[in-house]
Amino acid sequence: MAVNKVSADQRVPSVAEKRTEQIATAAVALFSERGYVPTTIEDISNEIGVGKGLIYRYFEDKRDVLLCALCAVLDKYKKEYALALLDTLGPVAALRRVLAINCALAQEHAKEVTLAYRSTKDLMPEQRHKIMAIESEIVAEIRECLEACIATGLMRPVNPKIMAYQFLMFGHTWALKQWALSDEFSVAQFVSEGEQLLIVPFLTASGRRKFDAAGKIANDAAARVAPKTSPRRSRSR
Amino acid sequence: MAVNKVSADQRVPSVAEKRTEQIATAAVALFSERGYVPTTIEDISNEIGVGKGLIYRYFEDKRDVLLCALCAVLDKYKKEYALALLDTLGPVAALRRVLAINCALAQEHAKEVTLAYRSTKDLMPEQRHKIMAIESEIVAEIRECLEACIATGLMRPVNPKIMAYQFLMFGHTWALKQWALSDEFSVAQFVSEGEQLLIVPFLTASGRRKFDAAGKIANDAAARVAPKTSPRRSRSR
Amino acid sequence: MAVNKVSADQRVPSVAEKRTEQIATAAVALFSERGYVPTTIEDISNEIGVGKGLIYRYFEDKRDVLLCALCAVLDKYKKEYALALLDTLGPVAALRRVLAINCALAQEHAKEVTLAYRSTKDLMPEQRHKIMAIESEIVAEIRECLEACIATGLMRPVNPKIMAYQFLMFGHTWALKQWALSDEFSVAQFVSEGEQLLIVPFLTASGRRKFDAAGKIANDAAARVAPKTSPRRSRSR
Amino acid sequence: MAVNKVSADQRVPSVAEKRTEQIATAAVALFSERGYVPTTIEDISNEIGVGKGLIYRYFEDKRDVLLCALCAVLDKYKKEYALALLDTLGPVAALRRVLAINCALAQEHAKEVTLAYRSTKDLMPEQRHKIMAIESEIVAEIRECLEACIATGLMRPVNPKIMAYQFLMFGHTWALKQWALSDEFSVAQFVSEGEQLLIVPFLTASGRRKFDAAGKIANDAAARVAPKTSPRRSRSR
DNA sequence: GATGAATGAGCTTTCATTCAT
DNA sequence: AATGAATGAAAGCTCATTCAT
């Protein structure tokens, strides 16, 4: 009997890989909750019930753990974006999805987004550049989507790089300013307002038509938004 | 003896007040440069040439120094905004000024803005709320400006709170993502693109006219922008 | 009233200097007893009844404490040698004194000598060179004494550098091999044998006469030798 | 079955013995290079490409490895000395050989000699006594040689124990003070000077004749000295 | 025999905070 | 009002040693 025949594809993660991931996961949770500096290596090791020395078998030092934690967050972002930009959707629908998913992620991972803004500076320059590179890739994907919209005449020309950052930051704003926004808006409302501020005003007539048609699809994506934080007072506009 | 007769208005700052401010200023500089945790109380006291024990005569503890440092930054923001919203300007011109000044401050005080995002969480909840309150006031001022635009029919109705945050975050984006933006855009270009994304698309026909007329005034504000960072490759749109 | 008029000469050591010396002294004792690595900073601070943090106000790090400890030992050596080589004695008598004092120091500071052999390698290269430089100075002084003996025809020509090291090492041998020697010899006997091995065979006839005449003086120096370790079995020659 | 028939004499070393020796050899190399404390058990196991757990099958603990490492060094010394004292040579020639071989070993194994001085104190008292016992045996052999010289009237009476230590320490001096000596002397020169300081002055007339006759033999031994360190400035006497 | 994941005591070092002067 | 010596909790990191596999 050939065990693990297809192990190349469906790899059984090695013990080491599982540990690394286990530690990174715990680190993301604790760093996000308490911040990088106040969280001790021992906190992390206790979280997963191992000795503190073990962390150092899998990571260089505490900074290295932070790097991995931040990469893990960004990678989750990247993975979701890739799904958002499926060719099957037209570029306008993709744009709506990007916005919706961006906000959904910001909702689900508000702590992690905040962590990135708090702690990237605690890394060494080289590590920081790594993080910045991943963010740049994400922005580049959004930008391509925007440029597709413009190229196909669905959107009026706008500066694609700055607009891409507007899309990214809109989600981050939800995470960073949740304390001021979530008592008035649900994520769904926030996404909806975002479309009115970041997409609709820039569409051409044909773009507009696509947008209306894409309504359903985008709403599906929006449905992903976990309604964990129910707005206390709903007072839209 | 007529000492301090007019102290209510034109107060001669007491020695204590001067010390407090002196410490806060040094703290802003050092925290902004190195971050809150890595900066020691001794660093701050050395910066102003006093013994480190003296800090504790004027501040409860290190956190208290951070609180004052963050307040100092936000107060500077608030003061500038107050100037921006002078009644002499119409609401559209005021809006342009808000954007321009916001970016100018983000340029001049990028480190301080970054500090706020890094370190607010290091405060005690009560202190944090104080900071959040000041930010809310700033947003409220922007919002009033937007609502004035909408009420006077110069701007199409948009969600004023979210839009106000968009204005605030646009400046913060310049500070936070300078590493990605400043090699392609100057602050002036960034402000100009901001107007195309945050103001122009939302103006009514009459608002549009005001905007064009206000060109000069707004540009004056934009002139404040210190062109410290010259763009390496200029490639607008 | 002029207090501290002569403070330039008879300096009252500052608090800082006293602390530094106090720490160094404790470090010499503990490092000598237990060795550098097994002695903790806390051991040292406890020895003098202060908190362990205080050590770091006066020394860079643990290595720096070791450097000072070793320097303190060597400086004591140098100081004693300077006395040994007084011009009032002739060169032969000086040589006898060098040998006697060398052995006396080795007896009194056997632990410290051993420490130097154990722990010099634990220093950084630059620090190590400092230690080596001091030792070289000591050897140079012995060498000059030897060369004076040879130049004045009191001693037959021998290689002065290697012979100087023989003199130095003779004392070190007493410290390093005490476990094998002290049960058979007292320091006085050891010194006496040393003269028979390192001085007498190399003297010329005139040197010989000086040596015999200098007997008393040298013996005075030898008297300094603290007879702490009484030989268990005396079996000279 | 004739397995291990001659195992008493020509033993086929068991796997365990080979492992033990393999580990000890690696330990000597690493301890000598970096010192006992800074070398980790893992360093040693990596050096020979085995898991670190394996060390503990063959040694009690790290100290035990050090003990074996030091014994290995001393045993090598003892073995060489045994060859030096072959009865075929006369006692004077043997003495010359002792000196030459001593220095040759100090040259080839300077690091190991230094290790012994650095790390013997890191052993437990019982282990330390073992090391001291081996050294005493070596000294005893030298001493016998000296006593033979004296008994046969080739050498004037000197304290044989102290003189024996002088012979031993002369080699150790080369290892310990190489940094000060090797730029001025080659080992051969050092040995030659040693003869002038430790042998020649103590020979009787008949001893002198033996010494001159033994020139060749001694020189053969001296030839063993690996001229690895060429003196930069040669300035004998 | 052999491995290496896991442990945790123990160390160096930092720094906010106190307080005698 | 001001100082800076002193404290000690607390954290990161190492590594000898164990033991399930």
Least confident of A133-137, C38-42, D83-87, D114-118: D83-87
Residue C143: closest CA among chain D residues belongs to which residue? D237
Q: Write down the residue that tokens 């060494």 correspond to.
A: A124
Chain-wide mean pLDDT for chain C?
A: 87
What pLDDT digit, counting tens, does each position of B116-167 carry? 999 999 999 999 999 999 999 999 999 999 999 999 999 999 999 999 999 9
Same domain, A146 and A207: yes
Same domain, A122 and A198: yes
- Is residue D160 included in any domain, yes or no? yes
Q: Give the global pTM.
A: 0.87
Chain-wide mean pLDDT for chain B?
A: 87
Same domain, A157 and A44: no
How crowded is the C-beta side of D236, counted as CA atoms within 13 Å?
Answer: 12
Same domain, B40 and B157: no
What pLDDT digit, counting tens, does each position of D211-233 carry? 987 665 445 555 555 444 444 44
d(CA B224, nearest CA chain A) in Å: 22
CATH code of the domain covering residue D36: 1.10.10.60
CB A157 within 8 A of CB A150: yes
Determine what percent of chain D is predicted with pLDDT higher than 70.
83
Determine what percent of chain B is predicted with pLDDT higher than 90.
73
Residue B169 at interface with chain A, using a CB cutoff of 8 Å: yes
Same domain, C32 and C102: no
- Is residue C135 included in any domain, yes or no? yes
Q: Is the pLDDT of residue D101 over 70?
A: yes
Contacts of B181 in chain A (CB under 8 A): 161-162, 165
Q: Is the pLDDT of residue C235 over 80?
A: no
What pLDDT digit, counting tens, does each position of C4-53 carry? 444 445 566 688 889 999 999 999 999 999 999 999 999 999 999 999 99
**pLDDT in the model for residue A226:** 43
CA-to-C1' span, D51 to E4 (A): 7
Least confident of A207-221, B145-159, C14-28, C152-166: A207-221
Q: Which residues 6+ apart lie within 8 Å of B216 measured at CB?
A: none
Q: Tell me how far apart the alpha carbons of residues A170 and A67 are, in angstroms, rounded to a whole number.
A: 24
Cβ pair A119:B118 closer than 8 A: yes
Contacts of A162 in chain B (CB under 8 A): 181, 185, 190, 193-194, 197
Contacts of C121 in chain D (CB under 8 A): 35, 114, 118
Determine what percent of chain A is predicted with pLDDT higher than 90.
73
Q: Considering only CA atoms, which residue is closest to the C1' of nucleotide F8?
A: C51
**pLDDT in the model for residue B78:** 87
- Is residue D232 included in any domain, yes or no? no
Q: Tell me how far apart the alpha carbons of residues A107 and D46 are, in angstroms, rounded to a whole number.
A: 48
Same domain, A95 and A123: yes
Same domain, A70 and A181: yes
CATH code of the domain covering residue B73: 1.10.357.10
- Is residue C232 included in any domain, yes or no? no
Q: Is the pLDDT of residue B109 over 90?
A: yes
**pLDDT in the model for residue C214:** 66
Q: How confident is the model at residue B89 (pLDDT cuts 50, 70, 90)?
A: confident
Q: Tell me how far apart the alpha carbons of residues C4 and C2 are, in angstroms, rounded to a whole number.
A: 6
Cβ pair A162:B190 closer than 8 A: yes
**pLDDT in the model for residue C147:** 95
Domain count for chain B, please give it: 2
**Residue of D39 and A81 predicted with greater confidence:** D39
**Average pLDDT estimate for A62-87:** 87
Same domain, B72 and B141: yes
**pLDDT in the model for residue C154:** 96
Cβ pair A201:B201 closer than 8 A: yes
Which string of DSSP letters, residue by residue, matches C191-207?
HHHHHHHHTGGGB-HHH
**pLDDT in the model for residue B4:** 44
Contacts of C197 in chain D (CB under 8 A): 158-159, 162-163, 166
Q: Is the pLDDT of residue B232 over 60?
A: no
**pLDDT in the model for residue B127:** 96
Q: Is B14 left (phi over 0), alpha (psi -120 to 50) or beta?
A: beta
Q: Tell me how far apart the alpha carbons of residues B100 and B221 are, in angstroms, rounded to a whole number.
A: 6
**pLDDT in the model for residue A16:** 86
Which nucleotide shows the minimum CA-to-C1' distance to residue B51? F3
Q: Is the pLDDT of residue B233 over 90?
A: no
What pLDDT digit, counting tens, does each position of C85-108 carry? 767 778 899 999 999 999 999 999
Subset of residues 28-67 in chain C with CB less than 7 angstroms from any atom in strand F: 45, 49-54, 56-57
- Is residue D231 included in any domain, yes or no? no
Q: Considering only CA atoms, which residue is closest to the C1' of nucleotide E10?
A: C40
Among C43, C59, C75, the domain-final residue is C59
Same domain, B107 and B29: no
Same domain, C97 and C33: no
**Average pLDDT estimate for C170-181:** 98
Q: Is the pLDDT of residue A191 over 70?
A: yes
Same domain, C43 and C148: no
Q: How confident is the model at residue D14 (pLDDT cuts 50, 70, 90)?
A: confident
Burial (CB count within 10 angstroms: exposed 0-12, middle 13-18, buried 19+), residue D4: exposed
Q: Is the pLDDT of residue C2 over 60?
A: no
Residue among B20, B33, B113, B106 at smallest CA distance from B70: B113
**pLDDT in the model for residue A10:** 58
Q: Is the pLDDT of residue B218 over 70?
A: no
Q: Tell me how far apart the alpha carbons of residues D163 and D167 are, in angstroms, rounded to a whole number.
A: 6
**Long-range contacts of the stretch A8-16 (C-beta < 8 A, 24+):** A16/A58
- Is residue C90 included in any domain, yes or no? yes
- Is residue B233 included in any domain, yes or no? no
Same domain, B80 and B172: yes
Range of the structural domain that residue D189 is part of: 62-221
**Residue of C7 and C59 predicted with greater confidence:** C59
**pLDDT in the model for residue A234:** 41
Q: Considering only CA atoms, which residue is closest to the C1' of nucleotide F14?
A: A53
- Is residue A183 included in any domain, yes or no? yes
CB A93 within 8 A of CB A210: yes
Q: Is the pLDDT of residue D4 over 70?
A: no
Which string of DSSP letters, residue by residue, matches D149-172?
HHHTTSB----HHHHHHHHHHHHH
**Average pLDDT estimate for B82-110:** 87
